Chain A
């Protein structure tokens, strides 16, 4: 595996804008549309404004900024859950996102079965999952509970299982949104170490977090989003320093 950075651009965001239509009182049915046509008043909220961004292979980039600055929206755009109103996004490589953990988990099925279901949503086939299942179970530290239905799990166990699947998908690009907040100290550290390990394997990561310690630990580049625009982009320490000054 290639170590460190290369010059290959894996994420290229050119002039991307995203608006959300915020309806005051949304007319969902045809009747409401016809009768209360004035009800469909809406406000166009510009969440991202002309973002330009290039991320190279092997980079670990943190997105920081106050709530509502567009960090999660940017991640959602990168994973193609939503699409931009303008501009263009190019992705080279297999991309996995940990926006919300446990997508497609079914409470009545066992942890093991849910690993298959969850991993298949990430685009893995059965043989690939078979090969990883032991790693996933080991990482989740669920032990014998793995064969219990996940409705019996605590939220921490649920999180651990979901994170274990996502981190073992073997993607080239990993998008991680504020998901570490759940687990206990031990597991948080384990996740951070695992991410550091992936980083040393040359994976590209985009990481949203409010924990500046985690950002400093993991990322060598930080991007500060402010009201839908890039306020600052550069070395982690410098960006964080300015960001904290502004917040204070």
Chain B
């Protein structure tokens, strides 16, 4: 509660900080924000060529099957990979002034979320071009986005604060994210997972999030709301835990950096 009040007081700083991260990302490049489109498109091209033609994946309309999952995954991946450096990169101001440190991970997740929203234009265009179109199931989309935002924020809180103490995390996380990518049904269908591992996979929130995106956008079905709500609650609990860890760590940031 105290945190929310402080965030309100420091809202201008939160805004400038998000803006700075969002704009700063492509600042020195020629194409600027266009990279938010080009990057996922190129990545998509690679997967869309490799899997159906070389690996012979038998999924109808594989490119579309991929696009609705890959772009949300990119949002998660970018957030987590950057989260390890958010605190360390701001060591200058942390040592000089007081402000709610939670602003840093929040602006990391939010600026990536804005980027994700821009990339969503690709999904929309692709849905229309491929003839799938957009069905009424799209009304569930904001809920899933919220779910992913909360989960990403929780992870960002935890990783950004612990990395200050254990710098190795930065290198470990990029490998971990590769593993996490293959353990999440982005490139494949959820039912391709052997049944005996299914329970284990269910522990990974990204499995549910990515599956829900695909269900809503590709199959145009409504997700099981009760199920989604359960995961949302679990993610909020994780967010509280993440915030607690962050809060415990933040007091020593200025000394450790």
- Report which A residues bind B (CB closer than 8 A): 20, 28-31, 76, 79-83, 97, 99-100, 103-104, 106, 116-117, 119-126, 129
Cβ contact within 8 Å between B16 and A116: yes
B98:A28 contact, CB within 8 angstroms: no
Also in contact, A97 and B97, with CB within 8 A (given A116-B16, A120-B10, A126-B12): yes
Known contacts A30-B166, A116-B16, A117-B16: does B11 contact A103 (CB below 8 Å)? no
Give complex CA distance A129, B92 in Å: 23
Is A125 in contact with B12, judged by CB distance below 8 angstroms? yes
Decide: A121 and B168 in contact? CB cutoff 8 A. no
A3 to B9, CA, bound (A): 27
Contacts of A123 in B (CB 8 A): 9-10, 12-13, 99
Q: How far is the CA of A129 from the CA of B15 in the complex (A)?
A: 14
B255 touches A121 (CB 8 A): no
Please report B residues at the A interface, Cβ cutoff 8 Å: 9-13, 15-16, 20, 92-99, 166-168, 251-252, 254-255
Choose among A28, A80, A99, A125 the residue that contacts B96 (Cβ–Cβ < 8 A): A99
CB of A34 to closest CB in B, whole Å = 10
Name the distance in Å between B237's Cβ and chain A's nearest Cβ. 27
Quote the shortest CB–CB distance from B24 to chain A (angstroms): 9
The 9 closest A-B pairs by CB, nearest first: A103-B96, A120-B13, A120-B12, A83-B251, A103-B97, A125-B12, A30-B168, A80-B98, A100-B96
Rounded to whole Å, the gap between the CB of A169 and the closest CB of chain B is: 11
Instruction: Report the separation of the CA atoms of residues A80 and B6 in the bound assembly, to the nearest whole angstrom.
Output: 14
Q: Give the docked Cα–Cα distance between A124 and B18 (Å).
A: 16
How far is B106's CA from A160's CA once the two chains are assembled, in angstroms? 32
User: Which residue from A31, A81, A129 sits with its C-beta under 8 Å from B95?
Assistant: A81
Measured CA separation A213–B16 after assembly (Å): 40
Q: What are the residues of chain B within 8 A of A117 when measuring CB–CB?
A: 16, 20
A82-B255, A83-B251 given as contacts; is B97 within 8 A of A99 (CB)?
A: yes
The 8 Å CB contact of A81, one of B12, B97, B167, is B97
Is the beta-carbon distance between B96 and A29 smaller than 8 angstroms?
no
A122 touching B166, Cβ below 8 Å: no
Q: Is the CB of A31 within 8 A of B97?
A: no
Residue pair A82, B254 in contact (C-beta under 8 Å): yes
State A166–B98 Cα separation when bound (angstroms): 13
A124 touches B12 (CB 8 A): yes
The 29 sampled A-B contact pairs (Cβ below 8 Å) are: A28-B167, A29-B168, A30-B166, A79-B97, A80-B98, A81-B98, A82-B251, A82-B252, A83-B251, A97-B98, A99-B96, A100-B95, A100-B96, A104-B97, A106-B20, A116-B12, A116-B16, A117-B16, A119-B12, A120-B10, A120-B13, A120-B16, A121-B93, A121-B97, A123-B9, A123-B10, A123-B12, A125-B12, A129-B12
**Chain B residues within an 8 Å CB radius of A31:** 168
Nearest residue, chain B, Cβ from A30: B168
Shortest beta-carbon distance from A30 to chain B in Å = 4
Closest to A18 in B: B255
Least Cβ–Cβ distance between A11 and chain B, in angstroms: 15
Are B13 and A121 in contact, with the CB atoms below 8 A?
yes
Whole-angstrom distance from the CB of A158 to the nearest CB of chain B? 14
- Chain A residues with CB under 8 A of B167: 28-29
Which residues of chain A have C-beta atoms less than 8 A from B15's C-beta?
A: 120
Q: How far is the CB of A132 from chain B (nearest CB, A)?
A: 13
**C-alpha gap A121/B207 in the complex (Å):** 38
Give the distance to chain A from B7, nearest Cβ to Cβ, in Å: 11
How far apart sit A80 and B96, CA to CA, in the bound complex (Å)?
Answer: 10
Tell me, in angstroms, the Cα distance from A6 to B96 when the chains sit together. 31
A99 to B96, CA, bound (A): 7
- Alpha-carbon distance A121/B94, docked complex (angstroms): 11
Known: A123-B9, A123-B12. 18 other contacts (CB 8 A): A30-B166, A31-B168, A81-B95, A81-B98, A82-B251, A82-B255, A97-B98, A99-B97, A103-B92, A103-B93, A103-B97, A116-B16, A117-B16, A119-B12, A120-B15, A121-B93, A123-B10, A123-B13
Q: Are A79 and B98 in contact (CB under 8 A)?
A: yes
Q: In the bound complex, do residue B251 and residue A121 qualify as a contact, i.e. CB atoms below 8 Å apart?
A: no
